[in-house]
Amino acid sequence: MTDYKLATRRLCKQYPGTTALADMSVGFAGGEVHALIGKNGAGKSTLVKMLAGSVQPTSGAILVDGVQVSLPTPAAAFRHGIAIVYQELSLIPSLTVTENILLGRLPQRGPFIDWPAAHARARAVLADMEIDIDVRARVGDLGVAKQQVVEIAKAMSTEPAALMLDEPTSALARHETGRLFTLIRRLAERGVAVIYISHRLQELHQIADRVTVLRDGHHIGTKAMPDTSAADIVHMMFGEVVQRERPADLCVGSACALRVQDLTRAGAFEAIDFTLHEGEILGLAGMLGAGRTELLRSIFGAESFDSGRIEVAGQALAAPTPMLMKKHGLAFTPENRKEEALVQRHSIRANMCLAGMGRMARGLFTSRALEQPHVDTQVERLRIKVSSTENPVAALSGGNQQKVVIGNWLNNQPRIMLFDEPTRGIDVQAKQQIFQVMWDLSRDGIASIFVSTELEELVEVCHRILIMQGGRIVAAVRPEDITADELYVRCMETPGVDHVS
């Protein structure tokens, strides 16, 4: 591996009861953009953290320019020329571009900062990257795309041998992504080894020279992008997916539960049009940035939309708000359950009574006597493992916390459930229990919209799946007519709008 700027040899990381990364050998060459991909839990984060010096390997070796090195701290990785730009930017909004780029390394003249020299140095870094940004500007006043560039400039100011970019386009619009790709390509042409971590598989052929795929902690393979199709990548990521079948007795009703017409929010989604029927489980498929979460939030009234129409049971709702949509029978389980759906310090009982509080109160006052039967019903129905519902919800596992979120909304007797990534971060058994809840709701005539990054879940659970790309619905498919692998490929294709009914 002497030809590589950065490499690993049989790298392994074990935690009690699990192996996060096993026998990982890969090399990252200067002058190329090397994509690192894998589904959640594949081992990407573990590998990146070991290369960045924040996690120590159990065994194996890390090599810089062919020489084995020890990286006990992030500072050690930094000294060896390894820089990383995380998805969550580490800039200080109140400081200038110069101060952020040279943070901790501002030139001094005696006891004072030499500001002319500092600004000149920052300008030189940006000029070398062919970027025009006012170095005296306050970072908090810049747009997200320019902040991302400043973060990269900060890393490049140290002249790294290897630069790791973690989901660099996750918060960028499409035109901003194109400009970032131009910058990344320039950096690679200067001899930097660029390691590009992304969930957006459709981007890989635009930016990557090679791709390494991880699955369940194992290195599945490394391939040249020109020789690799989207189907090849999907198969490497997921292997042979076991596709289970939705129960045969789930019937979609004829009545319309929800109608969305020409719904548009600039920069998020455009001209969204679909009908959801009683008892139907409707999947929303797409890669990261397709607009699925933004669409659900606008339907529920958590975020506004610019134009279009929403009807619930035939009634048009001109300006949805969460309170209004809840009144009309909608429920929403957000992607970020810990911060947006639960009050971690409150009890399990209190968290399960938030949405239906009006149904479980005497006048202006809540009543535990009225709450407890509803709580007990959901604990039994959802098989929530709990010794006492007075325990804090923070003490529960991720899967049981998700069940509390669902139980909270079920206590409000909804007619439509909006599920945004309900299975993220939970175990297989809990996932199956949540799928069973969706199927049971379907039997009761309650409709659901289900967003999941794990597209095989949509094939297993849903009656119908809408495919989103770039903020638009481009196709509608039936699970019985498509495999999970084929669905992934469809989500990665160049958009071409089909009729959606």
Q: How confident is the model at residue 499 (pLDDT cuts 50, 70, 90)?
A: very low
Lowest mean pLDDT among 20-29, 187-196, 242-251: 242-251
Q: How confident is the model at residue 464 (pLDDT cuts 50, 70, 90)?
A: very high
Query: How confident is the prediction for the chain on average, in pLDDT?
Result: 88
Residue that the structure tokens 């041998």 belong to? 161
Q: Nearest to residue 461, comparing CAs of 253, 237, 243, 241?
A: 243
> DSSP class of residue 178?
H
The pLDDT of residue 309: 95
Q: How confident is the model over 6-58, as pLDDT tens digits?
A: 999 999 999 887 788 999 999 999 999 999 988 766 888 889 999 999 999 99
**In whole angstroms, what is the distance from residue 24 CA to residue 43 CA?**
10
Mean pLDDT on 357-380: 80
Q: Nearest to residue 71, comparing CAs of 47, 93, 44?
A: 47
- Both tokens of 211, joined, read 């791709």
Q: Are 481 and 466 contacting, i.e. CB atoms less than 8 angstroms apart?
A: no
- 1-81+161-240 fold: Rossmann fold (3.40.50)
500 has pLDDT over 50? no
**In whole angstroms, what is the distance from residue 139 CA to residue 91 CA?**
8
Q: Are 1 and 18 contacting, i.e. CB atoms less than 8 angstroms apart?
A: no
Measured in residues, the chain has a length of 501
Residue that the structure tokens 């409150």 belong to? 346
**In whole angstroms, what is the distance from residue 453 CA to residue 473 CA?**
16
- Domain 256-492 in the same topology as domain 1-81+161-240: yes
DSSP 5-52: SEEEEEEEEEETTEEEEEEEEEEE-TT-EEEEE-STTSSHHHHHHHHT
* Verdict on whether the full-model pTM lies above 0.75: no
The amino acid at 15: Y
Q: Structural domain boundaries of the chain?
A: 1-81+161-240, 89-159, 256-492
The pLDDT of residue 47: 93
Lowest mean pLDDT among 25-34, 364-373, 446-455: 364-373
Strand, helix or coil for residue 269: strand
> DSSP class of residue 495?
P
Q: How confident is the model over 472-494, as pLDDT tens digits?
A: 999 999 999 998 888 988 887 65
* 3-class SS string, 370-396: HHHHHHHHHHHHHCCCCCCCCCEHHHC
Q: How many CB atoms lie within 10 A of CB 435?
A: 20
Strands 307-312 and 315-316: antiparallel
The amino acid at 377: T
275 has pLDDT over 90? yes
422-429's contacts with Cβ under 8 Å and 24+ in sequence apart are 422/333, 422/450, 422/452, 423/452, 423/454, 423/457, 424/40, 424/335, 424/453, 425/40, 425/398, 426/397, 426/398, 426/399, 426/402, 427/397, 427/399, 429/399
pLDDT > 70: percent of the chain: 94
497 has pLDDT over 60? no
The amino acid at 202: Q
Q: Which residue has the higher pLDDT, 102 or 429?
A: 102
- 256-492 fold: Rossmann fold (3.40.50)
Q: Nearest to residue 335, comparing CAs of 440, 467, 428, 453?
A: 453
Strands 269-277 and 315-316: unpaired
* 3-class SS string, 447-459: EEEEECCCHHHHH
Q: Where are the alpha helices (DSSP H) in 444-496?
A: 455-461, 484-492
Q: Are 288 and 488 contacting, i.e. CB atoms less than 8 angstroms apart?
A: no
Q: How confident is the model at residue 430 (pLDDT cuts 50, 70, 90)?
A: confident
